[in-house]
Amino acid sequence: KACSSGNTRIFADDTNIFFKCKNADEITTKGNEIMLQLNKWFIANKLTLNSEKSNFVIFRSKRNVITNLPEQIQFENSNIKRAMSVKYLGVILDEHLTWNI
């Protein structure tokens, strides 16, 4: 298993990890922990992560106002930047879970 702290979906050229948090500090802590686990799995399987093409989205309700959301999480000596939307299986999802095809 690539990551014990999150729900992992690995495709031929794409990896997605989903996890829940209660606050902004937990997002950063858990995100960094997951990236360490994922890095170990990538090394063991002779894979690499392109941090330039990688990002993360914080999905939340429009009513759920969270301050101090992290703009990046750590991966080795690089930072993975936060995005406001992501394309997942051909559907573009924004951080409030509205979508477009």
Residues 24-79: tens digit of each pLDDT: 889 889 988 988 998 899 899 998 888 888 999 999 888 877 788 899 988 888 88
Of 48, 62, 55, 57, nearest in space to 96 by CA: 62
Say how far apart CA 70 and CA 16 lie, in whole Å.
18
pTM of the model: 0.80
